[in-house]
Amino acid sequence: MTAYSIFLTIHSLTRWAVLITAVLAIVTAWQGWSGSVAWTTTKARFASWFVNTTSIQLVIGLILYGALSPITLKAFSDFGAAMKDSAIRYWAVEHMTMMLIAVALVHIGSGRIRKGADDKAKHRAAAIFFTIAFVLIMASIPWSGVNVRPLFRGF
Ligand code: HEM
């Protein structure tokens, strides 16, 4: 067991926490936006769980990216060559960029919820920002293709 395998496994498993909290936060947001429904503490809790799981995932991702992944470390040694290799480019640029945007949207959405003038505005902010972030996250997880990874990785 190496630091790389431990962090990669945690990053792989935390993906499920991200997705579950995303679905809870998004479904309750859309349900509330469609009517005059109160923004409850349960909804606020789902939103903050989604913020927390994506933040944890961001930190682990940054550690993998900057210090542990042999793929990104190889890319840094010759970035020009890495850009020509689609598998390396995927991890060195595409996954990281899309996930950073998604995490930023989750945080912006959370700020908009806090500042929302009324409950409808809070539901709307959660529904819009969290849904776009979720779509980006789903699209940037290597479910299939040349970079496919296991759904559940063991230590
Ligand atoms: C919500 C955010 C994220 C999700 C859901 C996510 C999901 C994943 C998944 C499922 C894997 C494959 C793990 C495996 O091999 O079993 C992975 C790998 C990886 N992710 Fe993320 N990720 C996220 C954010 C990030 C961010 C922000 C970064 C970088 C700043 C990052 C960097 C990496 C790296 C470097 C790898 C591993 C490459 C290797 O195999 O060496 N991830 N990620």
Supply the DSSP string of 59-86, one letter for each residue: HHHHHIIIII-HHHHHHHHTHHHHHH-H
Distance 34 CA to ligand 1 centre (A): 34
Quick check: is 155 in a domain? no
Domain of residue 87 covers: 3-140
For 144, other C-beta atoms within 10 Å of its C-beta total 8
Mutate to test the pocket of ligand 1, among 6, 64, 69 (most ligand atoms within 8 A of CB): 64
Mutate to test the pocket of ligand 1, among 58, 74, 99, 137 (most ligand atoms within 8 A of CB): 99
Cβ–Cβ < 8 Å for 43, 29: yes
Cβ–Cβ < 8 Å for 107, 53: no
74 lines ligand 1 (CB under 6 A): no
Distance 111 CA to ligand 1 centre (A): 25
Q: Which tokens go with 146?
A: 């040349």
Distance 87 CA to ligand 1 centre (A): 14
Total structural domains within the chain: 1
Q: Report pLDDT for 33.
A: 82
Q: Report pLDDT for 63.
A: 98
Ligand 1, atom 5, lies closest to the CA of 15
Cβ–Cβ < 8 Å for 58, 99: yes
Q: pLDDT tens across 93-110, in order?
A: 999 999 999 999 999 999
Quick check: is 148 in a domain? no
Distance 65 CA to ligand 1 centre (A): 8
Taking the C-alpha atoms of 46, 50, 56 and 57 in order, what is their torsion angle to the nearest 10 degrees?
150
Quick check: is 18 in a domain? yes
Quick check: is 87 in a domain? yes
Quick check: is 153 in a domain? no
Q: Report pLDDT for 137.
A: 98
Q: Does an H or E element contain 13, and which? A: helix 3-33
Q: Report pLDDT for 154.
A: 83
- Predicted TM-score of the model (pTM): 0.96
For 35, other C-beta atoms within 10 Å of its C-beta total 8
Quick check: is 145 in a domain? no
The stretches in the chain having pLDDT less than 70 are none
8 lines ligand 1 (CB under 6 A): yes
Q: Report pLDDT for 35.
A: 73
d(CA 98, CA 16): 18
Quick check: is 12 in a domain? yes
Q: Report pLDDT for 139.
A: 97
Residues 6+ positions from 19 with CB-CB distance below 8 Å: 134, 137, 138
Quick check: is 151 in a domain? no
